Structure 1
Amino acid sequence: MSPQSRDNGTDERFERGLAVRKEVVGEAHVERSMAQVSDFSRPVQEWVTRACWGDVWDRPGLDRRTRSLLNLVMLTALGRSHELAVHVRGAVTNGATTEEIREALLQATVYCGAPAGLEAFRVAEKVLVEDGAVS
C-alpha cells in the first residue's frame, strides 16, 4: 500500500512512517497489517502510518526506547491488549530491558488499577516468553 499525495505523486510522510513502523514493530507485522487493509480501513491505516509513525515517532525529542515505555503505560491505561503485545515487542526492539518493561507496567498498575495492570503483565509476559526474553 503506497498512497499517492495530491502534491507530487509521492507521500514522503507515509514512506517515512512506514519505515519507522517496520523498524519498531517488525517488518513481518507491518506487512501482515497492511495486507489485511480493506478499502474501508485504508484511510485510518494511512493516517496512523503518517501521523503516529512518520510525524511523532520520528521526532528527535525522545528516544524510541522512551517512546516505547510510554506506549506500554498508555496502552495499559486504555486496556488495549492487542496493541500492548505489539508494543512490548517494539519496546524490546528499541532497547528496553525486561526490567524496564516490568517497572513501567508496575508504575501503570499503581495509577491505572490492578485489573489493568494484571492484564498488562499477562500480555507482556506471554510476549516475552514467546520471544525468549524471559522464562
Structure 2
Amino acid sequence: MEANETGRRIMSELMGADYVEKKDETRNDFNDVIHDYSIEVCFGRVWARDGIDRKQRSIVNIAMLTALNRPAQLAHHVEGALTNGCTVAEIKEVLLQAAVYCGLPAAGEAFRVAENVLREHGHLD
C-alpha cells in the first residue's frame, strides 16, 4: 500500500474520518506540501512502523507535545491516545512526568488541554 493511502487510513483510525475530511477541506495550493508530508511521512511511514505500538507512540507524542507547548496538536493526540487504548490514569501520569522534565507551565497547559478533551469524550465529570 502506498504511503499516502496508508497514512490516510492510519490518520482516520487514530483521529476519525471527520478529522481527515476537515484536513482535506483546508488543503490548498500553498499548504498541500505540508499536508502531504504529514500524511505520507508522519502517518504513512512512521506511525505505520512495527517498532513500538500505537499506544506507546501516543504516550511519546503527548510527552513531546507537552514539552513543545503545542496545545492544538496535543488535543488531537490525547483523542488519539484514547483511541489507542491509553487510560485517563496513564495520560495523567505522562503529564505529571512531563511536569518534572518540561516544567510546570508546559505541563499545566497540557493538563488543561487534556482535561478539556477527556471531558468532551465523557471520561471526566
- Name the TM-score class by shorter chain: over 0.9
1:106 aligns with 2:93: no
How far apart are 1:134 and its partner, in Å?
1.4
Q: Once superposed, what is the RMSD of the aligned Cα atoms?
A: 0.9
Partner of 1:96 in structure 2?
86
1:12 aligns with 2:2: yes
Partner of 1:67 in structure 2?
57
* Cα distance in 2, alignment partners of residues 130 and 122 from structure 1: 12
* Cα distance in 2, alignment partners of residues 39 and 90 from structure 1: 28
How far apart are 1:26 and its partner, in Å?
1.1
**Counterpart among 83, 105, 108 of residue 73 in structure 2:** 83
Q: What's the TM-score once normalised by structure 1's chain length?
A: 0.90
Q: Which runs of 5+ in 2 are unaligned?
A: none
How far apart are 1:94 and its partner, in Å?
0.3
Runs of 4+ in structure 1 displaced over 3 angstroms? none
Q: Which runs of 5+ in 1 are unaligned?
A: 1-10
The share of aligned pairs that are identical, in percent, is: 48
Partner of 2:109 in structure 1?
119
3-state DSSP class of the match of 2:106?
Answer: helix
Partner of 2:27 in structure 1?
37
Relative contact order (alpha carbons < 8 A, sep ≥ 6): 1 or 2 greater?
2
User: Which has the higher Rg, Structure 1 or Structure 2?
Assistant: 1
Q: What's the TM-score once normalised by structure 2's chain length?
A: 0.97
How far apart are 1:57 and its partner, in Å?
0.3
Figure out how many residues of one structure are paired with residues of the other and give that number: 125
